[in-house]
Structure formats: C-alpha cells, structure tokens
C-alpha cells in the first residue's frame, strides 16, 4: 500500500477504481465523480462490488480510515491499493471536481 496525492489520484481515476469509504452523511456534500461509495462499516458485506483485478484508490475524509480499508483489501486479495493523502478535504482544497 502506498499513498498518492490528489493530483496523481485525479490523473489515475479514469483507469483505476476510486473507493469512497466515508459515511452516507459525509458523501452528501459530494464525492469524486465515478467513485464507488461503500462506507467502511459495510466493506465486508459489499466486498464483491469491488473489482479485485483493478487497482483501487481508497478515499475517506482526511486519510485515516482509508489506510485501514486498504489493509483489509490487501487481505481480501485485491491487486493494488493506494490511499489518497489528505482525503476529500485535500481534494476539495485543490479545487478538483465533485459530484
């Protein structure tokens, strides 16, 4: 697992999966276009929704939860997992798109 900055995540999001692990109330304010939303607490039950053959960039609010989720994805046999440094707070500060 490694950490990528928001600029790199923006560049890679078309080819990789972006997994937003924030709670429903957090994503109500917006999320990265094209991201899959699975709250961290639902990860185990919704794991089949993640394509284990494609790299995943895990996103949360500030970057703390995403590291725990990335570790869980590694344990579940996903190919490559990265976390986004600073989470959605950094994404929004950079003025990147949200839906």
How are beta strands 17-20 and 2-4 bridged, if at all? unpaired
Could you give the residue ranges of the DSSP H alpha helices within 4-86? 6-12, 24-27, 43-46, 64-75
78 catalytically annotated: no
Active-site choice (19, 31, 56, 60): 60
Rg of the chain over all Cα atoms, to the nearest angstrom? 12
By annotation, the residues acting in catalysis are 60
């Amino acid at each position: 697992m490694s950490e990528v900055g928001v600029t790199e995540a923006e560049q890679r999001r078309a080819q990789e999966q972006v997994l937003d692990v924030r709670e429903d109330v957090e994503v109500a304010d917006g999320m990265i276009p094209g991201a899959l939303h699975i709250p961290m607490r639902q990860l185990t039950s919704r794991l089949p929704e993640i394509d284990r053959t494609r790299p995943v960039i895990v996103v949360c609010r500030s970057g703390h939860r995403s590291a725990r989720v990335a570790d869980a994805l590694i344990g579940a046999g996903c190919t490559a997992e990265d976390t986004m440094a600073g989470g959605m707070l950094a994404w929004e500060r950079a003025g990147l798109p949200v839906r």
